[in-house]
Structure 1
């Protein structure tokens, strides 16, 4: 039996949430997702958002919060996430200024640890979500991703592994999931194809090159809490892409 539940990263629906945030959450619930990972809160107050989630039977998995916001308003983000019942705050990306060389990376590791310690003190887990560059850039002879999780203790920084980007960077996501077993509560479940010019094209689940069933099985073995569907860019309208991906998960016994 799987250890995880199925959620969605709302960045997938950013065009729809910008027009009707509440309506988008209703569509998510109707498709059968158990939880949502936020990328903004639609301008709702925490109490109103919690009421809506409860009404729809959705769990607040966590929130993606940019590092500048984490440095400037961490207490506010922690309070908001606790109020909506969220368990995780995740740094979703690092700009060039945080990773221009090995020493800058090491400074960023220290910043992430400081943020993670403050989150832990208030009962929220802090995580980091990767793209491909953390596996393409090196720090002291190892991938920046491994250097990060080696430098920052597990009690200050959890792993939110985006399996698609691990695959695209040329690594085996199944091996990476196993590597961080016990530290990896969240797995981004995403499919991708490489275009003729070598660029990534994120596609609906089951239509790309990623071995998604193997990733789901690895997530079970690693004790992951959530598989989180995300599609950075959709070829079909976002709601249609979401529905097609959920249908594939159901047809393959993953939801």
Structure 2
């Protein structure tokens, strides 16, 4: 069974306030076994805390974030390749992940191919070091150019680059997550476990539109943007079917993530997600 972890983007403010080590203590108390590191500065002190957290609490580092050029999230492989490899060796992480391709790469087939070609040498070099580089999708990765999805372009041009599949974003992109897992079986190594719900229509906004206090278009815009990130088990995703399919597709880590908690304490959201996953056998 894949290791259950947490995308630490959810606790980045706590990391800034308390430090990584204390956050890993909280993660362990939530009965979570691994973390993925994102949206924090990868200082030597933070890496040392990951090492201490593994030794003291048994919390693994599932993956850390990288970009190709400087200025992105995590290690910049152009200038920090050796440092990223060293961090993996220290923490025991076998995965690095790219959170998103540059927006320019999404504008055409040629731009996407050019970006994927720039990534492939780094993915191959990392593979030679025993480290797997994964690409994390959003809904835009379901864009098609000449009938070929961005997913397909990446696989064709950068075969050493595997996938971190965010099932929420696959659903939002219009592809059935079960179909995606089947289509890309064998290369889906990290899975973001994130639910998808539709928020209630605002009665207040409706009444304002009906009374002509706001333009009807404003209500329609709200009506068309009711999609939300949800605690696992509190949305519409079929996790009892999805998680076994993800495991069959090659997943090694299931990582709880919720991009927005809508005013709730993220610890409470994580706890709810963890309790639901336990209820279905994880």
- TM-score, structure 1 as length reference: 0.91
Residues 11 and 60 of structure 1, relative CA distance in 2, 3 Å threshold = same
Instruction: Give me the CA root mean square deviation.
Output: 1.7
Q: Which has the higher contact order (CA 8 A, sep 6+)?
A: 1
2:23 equivalent in structure 1: 24
Counterparts in 2 of 1:141-152, with a 5 A limit?
Answer: 141-152=147-158
C-alpha distance after superposition, 1:168-195 (max 9, x if no partner): 1111111111222222221111101245
Asked if residue 131 in structure 1 is aligned to residue 138 in structure 2, the reply is: yes
> Hey, what's the Cα distance between the residues in 1 that align with 2:227 and 2:85?
33
C-alpha distance after superposition, 1:191-229 (max 9, x if no partner): 012453235311111111211221112023223211111
C-alpha distance after superposition, 1:54-112 (max 9, x if no partner): 21111111112233223332221121122110000010112313332221111011012
Asked if residue 239 in structure 1 is aligned to residue 243 in structure 2, the reply is: no
> Hey, what's the Cα distance between the residues in 2 that align with 1:223 and 1:138?
25
Confirm or deny: 8 A CA contact 1:193 1:201 kept in the other structure: yes
Range moving further from structure 2, 39-48 or 98-107: 39-48
1:113 equivalent in structure 2: 120
2:66 equivalent in structure 1: 65
> Hey, what's the Cα distance between the residues in 2 that align with 1:75 and 1:167?
36
1:160 equivalent in structure 2: 164
Instruction: Give how far 1:29 is off.
Output: 0.8
Confirm or deny: 8 A CA contact 1:139 1:147 kept in the other structure: no
> 6, 9, 14: which is aligned to 1:8?
6
> Hey, what's the Cα distance between the residues in 2 that align with 1:240 and 1:48?
24
Aligned residues: 249
- TM-score, structure 2 as length reference: 0.83
Question: Which runs of 5 or more structure 2 residues have no equivalent in the other structure?
Answer: 70-75, 200-222
Instruction: Give how far 1:48 is off.
Output: 4.3
Confirm or deny: 8 A CA contact 1:17 1:42 kept in the other structure: no
1:140 equivalent in structure 2: 146
Confirm or deny: 8 A CA contact 2:139 2:172 kept in the other structure: yes
> Hey, what's the Cα distance between the residues in 2 that align with 1:98 and 1:158?
18
1:34 equivalent in structure 2: 33
Asked if residue 249 in structure 1 is aligned to residue 277 in structure 2, the reply is: yes
Question: Which runs of 5 or more structure 1 residues have no equivalent in the other structure?
Answer: none
Q: Secondary structure of the residue that 2:188 maps to in structure 1?
A: coil
> Hey, what's the Cα distance between the residues in 2 that align with 1:248 and 1:52?
25
Q: Secondary structure of the residue that 2:236 maps to in structure 1?
A: coil
